[in-house]
Chain A
Amino acid sequence: MSAAVAPSSSPKITQPSLGELFRAFAIVSVSGFGGALPWARRKIVEQKGWMTADEFNEAFALSQFLPGPNVVNFSVVFGSRFGGAAGAAVALAGLMGPPLIIVLILAVFYARFGDLEMLSRILVGITAAATGLLIAVVAKMAMPLFRKRWDWAPPVAIAAFIGVAILQWPLPWVFLVLAPISIALAWVTR
Chain B
Amino acid sequence: MNDSPLLPLFGYFALLSLFAVGGANAAIPEMHRIAVEVMHWMNDRQFADSFAIAQVSPGPNIIIVTLIGYHVAGFAGAAVATAAMCGPTCVVAFLVARTWDRFKEARWRIAIQAGLVPVSLGLIGASAFVLARTADHTIYAAIITAVTAFIGFATRINPLWIFAVSGVLGMSGWL
Contact = CB atoms under 8 A, between A and B. Distances in A.
Interface of A: 1-2, 5-6, 29-38, 46, 57-58, 60-73, 76-77, 80-81, 85, 88, 92, 95-96, 98-100, 102-104, 106-107, 110, 116, 118-142, 145, 150, 152-154, 156-161, 163-165, 171-172, 174-175, 178-179, 182-187, 190
Given A96-B59, A96-B86, A119 B148 contact: no
Nearest to B168: A125
Given A62-B116, A128-B141, 14 more contacts: A38-B159, A61-B117, A69-B23, A72-B62, A72-B93, A124-B175, A125-B166, A125-B169, A127-B131, A132-B145, A132-B149, A133-B152, A139-B149, A161-B126
A95 B122 contact: no
B32 to A, nearest CB: 17
Contact of A164 (B111, B122, B173): B122
A95 to B, nearest CB: 7
A72 to B, nearest CB: 6
Contacts of B104: 2, 5-6
A38 B158 CA distance: 11
Nearest to B162: A129
Nearest to A127: B135
A54 to B, nearest CB: 8
Task: Tell me if B's interface is mostly helix, strand, loop or mixed.
Answer: helix
Contacts, number: 363
A29 B54 CA distance: 13
A68 B60 contact: no
Contact of B125 (A127, A132, A161): A161
Interface residues on B, range: 35 or more
Nearest to A71: B60
A72 B114 contact: no
A140 B17 CA distance: 29
Contacts of A134: 124, 127-128, 131
A135 B116 contact: no
Nearest to B86: A72
Contacts of A131: 128, 131-132, 135-136, 145, 148-149
Contacts of A63: 93
A116 B122 contact: no
